Chain A
Amino acid sequence: METISLLTWSLDGLLGLSLLWLAWRALTTPDLFKAVVLFIAFGLLITLVWVRLDAPDVALAEAAIGAGLTGALLLSALSRLDSTNSDPAPVNSGEAPVNQKPGRFESIHWWPFLSLVLVSAGLGSVILSMPAAFSGLSPEVNAQLTNSGVENPVTAVLLNFRAYDTLLEMVVLLIALLGVWSLGGGVKHKEPFPGTVLDILTRLLTPVLILVSAYLLWVGAHAPGGAFQAGSVLGAAGVLLMLSGWQLQMNIPVLLIRLILLAGPFAFIAMAAITMMIEGQLLQYPTAHAGLLILLLETLATLSIGATLAALFLGGQTWKNDEESL
Chain B
Amino acid sequence: MTTAILYALTGIGLFSLALYSLIVQAHLLRKILAINIMGSGVFLVLIALAKRSDEIPDPVPHAMVITGIVVAVSATALALSMMLKLNTETHHAELPDDQQG
Q: Which residues of A contact B (CB under 8 A)?
A: 1-2, 4, 8-9, 12-13, 16, 19-20, 23-24, 26-28, 32, 35-36, 39, 42-43, 46, 49-50, 52-55, 57-58, 61-62, 65-66, 69-70, 73-74, 77-78, 80-82, 84-86, 90, 92-93, 97-99, 108-109, 112-113, 116-117, 119-120, 123-124, 127-128, 130, 132-138, 141, 153-154, 156-158, 161-162, 165-166, 169, 172-173, 175-177, 179-180, 183-184, 186-187, 226, 228, 305, 309, 312-313, 315-316
Contacts and interface: CB of A to CB of B under 8 A. Distances in A.
15 contacts: A1-B2, A2-B54, A70-B36, A73-B76, A123-B12, A124-B12, A135-B58, A153-B56, A179-B78, A179-B81, A187-B84, A187-B88, A228-B66, A228-B69, A312-B73
Nearest to B74: A176
Secondary structure call for the A interface: helix
B69 A20 contact: no
B7 A53 contact: yes
Given A4-B1, A77-B83, A54 B51 contact: yes
Interface of B: 1-10, 12-21, 23-27, 29-30, 32-34, 36-37, 40, 43-45, 47-67, 69-78, 80-85, 87-88, 91-93, 99-101
A77 B84 contact: yes
Contacts of A315: 77, 80-81, 84
Nearest to A19: B10
B85 A186 contact: yes
A258 B38 CA distance: 33
A74 B84 CA distance: 11
B25 to A, nearest CB: 6
Given A12-B7, A172-B70, A186-B84, A27 B30 contact: yes
Contacts of B30: 27, 32, 35
B73 A65 contact: yes
Contacts of B19: 116, 119
Secondary structure call for the B interface: helix
A136 B73 contact: no
Nearest to B40: A46
A183 B13 CA distance: 35
Nearest to B36: A70
Given A127-B49, A133-B52, A35 B29 contact: yes
A207 B82 CA distance: 33
Q: Top 8 nearest A-B pairs by Cβ distance?
A: A176-B74, A136-B58, A120-B16, A153-B59, A16-B10, A312-B77, A157-B63, A27-B21
A28 B22 CA distance: 11
A186 B59 contact: no
B62 A58 contact: yes
Given A62-B69, A85-B91, A166-B67, A127 B85 contact: no
Given A4-B1, A93-B100, A133 B53 contact: yes
B14 to A, nearest CB: 6
A172 B69 CA distance: 12
Contact of A39 (B33, B67, B75): B33
Contact of B29 (A74, A166, A179): A74
A25 to B, nearest CB: 11
Given A16-B6, A39-B33, 17 more contacts: A2-B2, A16-B10, A20-B10, A20-B17, A23-B18, A53-B51, A61-B69, A77-B84, A81-B29, A81-B83, A81-B84, A82-B93, A85-B91, A135-B58, A165-B63, A165-B67, A180-B81
